[in-house]
Amino acid sequence: MKNSAVMRLKHFAPLCFCALVLVSACAEPILSKFEVQRPSRITVPRKVKKVFIRSDLVADTNDLLGIKSQVLQQLAAELNRLGRFKVSVVDTFNESQIDSEKDTVAIVQGEVTSGGEVDRGQFTDLATCTGGIGGRLSSAGAAAISDEAITLDNWRGYVCRRGAFASDVTELALSSAFAIAGLSEVVPPKNQVVRIYNYKNLSLFAQANFSFTTIGLSRETLAIRADSASFGRSITEKDSYRNIKESHLISLTLGSLISITRIPIFPIPIREVALAGRSNPKQTYYGQKSLPVPGINDLPAKEKRRVIEQLVNQTLMSFIRTISPYKVLVGAETASGGKAGAGNLLNAGKVKKARLIIEAIPEGERDPEDWYNLGLAYEASAVSREDYEDARRFYITALEKSPGIKLYAQGVGRTRRYLAETRTLAKQTQE
């Protein structure tokens, strides 16, 4: 009975180790997330309230993906959302309609470029094949979890997969679990296979080159910005995997016998090295043809919409932040502990409740964690310069009570930056 318990513990240890590796790799600090307004890179005069995006002056000669319309509409929608300007996409614009004594407007014009390329071919890799009932089950399970292609050796006895660190750890955990269930030994027998498969590398890009010109009593170009984004994906045709050469841990005699009969025998009892016969590879997937002209239709419809949206957003981001104040999502780590224990409230976005609970504690009785979390509550709900000044003061108090704590110093640094930007932001946002 004792020996049985020892054996189970021996088999269970690798599974525990794998679980610890996975947990430690995935563990990340929980952050309190909140929006912070940042000033634009240039200060557009407050009298500029209307912006017209001239579709007729945005060239699309090299827009091979046909995204110009989406780029312009997305640019207008995002600027309208930020609220600094009232933006419209127009086909033409008559400047004589502007009363230059009263109005100053801005015109956006430029160029949209997009395209990409597709590369098709074959690739060879070395796969490790596992045998035994537990080995085959664990390898196939790990491949399914990591969305990895698998093949079988020529005798259908071993499951072959290339594997990576995460999927190898998963296989070890599954193999240990099957071993505990009595299906196989902990480390299953292994062979190697050289595999060849088909692939397609798809690369797409987008670029927007825009200028921002004000028209009133005078005409002035305030900003010219060219920004680009790219997307790449390697698509493997899993059904195209086939074995070219196999090295089996069995004897030549047994290998010849199994090769003739094609009868799977599990587990294979002898593990001496023998070389299996070469298979008959299919015709070359990609030959001497010229590379095809890529198109967005190389992607499934759902993924196509997602990729185009990401390309457009990334391409426009810098131009938008050049001319308009914007908001960014900030993630700041909360302090665990403290008398108020307000960290969980801040992580859940309950900023006002956390602030009330901490402020209910007398100042002389607050722990450094309380002072830091109070500063974070003020920072996360700031609507004025004074809020940032209070947040910075609370962070400094926490740092004075516990010198050398990096988390507290980071709070001081963040608020110092916000305070430096508030004057510029006030010029851009206040009437």
Looking at 299, 324, 349, which one is the last position of a domain?
Answer: 324
Distance CA 111, CA 58 (A): 5
392 assigned to some structural domain: yes
- In terms of domains, do 287 and 351 share one? no
Check which CATH number belongs to the domain holding 420 and give it.
Answer: 1.25.40.10
415 assigned to some structural domain: yes
- In terms of domains, do 236 and 108 share one? yes
Buried-state track 351-368, b at ≥16 Cβ within 10 A, e below 16: beebbebbeebeeeebbb
122 assigned to some structural domain: yes
* Residues 398, 375 contacting (CB under 8 angstroms): yes
14 assigned to some structural domain: no
Distance CA 226, CA 315 (A): 8
- In terms of domains, do 363 and 311 share one? no
Per-residue pLDDT, averaged over 178-198, amounts to 70
In this model, does residue 161 exceed pLDDT 80? yes
pLDDT tens string 12-39: 444 444 444 444 444 556 778 888 889 9
Residue reference for tokens 């196939």: 140
**Amino acid 129: pLDDT:** 85
- In terms of domains, do 245 and 377 share one? no
pLDDT tens string 275-299: 444 444 444 433 445 545 455 566 7
- In terms of domains, do 308 and 358 share one? no
* Residues 46, 431 contacting (CB under 8 angstroms): yes
Per-residue pLDDT, averaged over 349-365, amounts to 94
Looking at 289, 324, 359, which one is the last position of a domain?
Answer: 324
**Amino acid 426: pLDDT:** 85
pLDDT tens string 316-330: 999 999 999 998 898
- In terms of domains, do 292 and 425 share one? no
Max mean pLDDT among 163-177, 187-201, 346-360 falls in 346-360
175 assigned to some structural domain: no
Please report, for residues 73, 202, 236, 290, 311, the alpha-carbon distance to residue 293 in angstroms, rounded to integers and kept in the order given. 27, 11, 19, 9, 19
Looking at 286, 306, 324, which one is the last position of a domain?
Answer: 324
H helices of 133-196, in order, are 133-145, 165-180
- In terms of domains, do 82 and 190 share one? yes
- In terms of domains, do 240 and 346 share one? no
In this model, does residue 311 exceed pLDDT 70? yes
Per-residue pLDDT, averaged over 260-277, amounts to 41
pLDDT tens string 42-83: 999 988 999 999 999 999 999 998 999 999 999 999 999 999
248 assigned to some structural domain: yes
Tokens standing for residue 319: 């131009």
- In terms of domains, do 191 and 311 share one? yes
Q: What's the number of domains the chain is made of? A: 2
- In terms of domains, do 278 and 396 share one? no
Cβ neighbours of residue 428 closer than 8 Å, sequence gap 6 or more: 39, 40, 43, 44, 46, 84, 325
Please give the residue range of the domain that contains residue 193.
Answer: 40-128+185-324
Helix or strand run (H / E) with residue 77: helix 68-82
Please report, for residues 196, 361, 368, 379, 390, the alpha-carbon distance to residue 399 in angstroms, rounded to integers and kept in the order given. 59, 19, 7, 16, 14
164 assigned to some structural domain: no
- Dmax (CA) for the chain in angstroms is 99
- In terms of domains, do 347 and 310 share one? no
Backbone angles phi, psi at 97, to 5 degrees: -80, -10
Q: Which residues pair with 327 in a beta bridge?
A: 37
**Given pLDDT bands bounded at 50, 70 and 90, which one contains residue 155?**
low
Measured in residues, the chain has a length of 431
Tokens standing for residue 359: 């402020």
- In terms of domains, do 194 and 73 share one? yes
Please state which of the ranges 187-191, 265-269, 353-357 shows the lowest mean pLDDT: 265-269
172, HSE (Cβ side, Cα atoms, 13 Å)? 18
Tokens standing for residue 116: 């990409």
With a pLDDT cut of 90, the percent of the chain lying above it is 41
Distance CA 354, CA 367 (A): 15
143 assigned to some structural domain: no
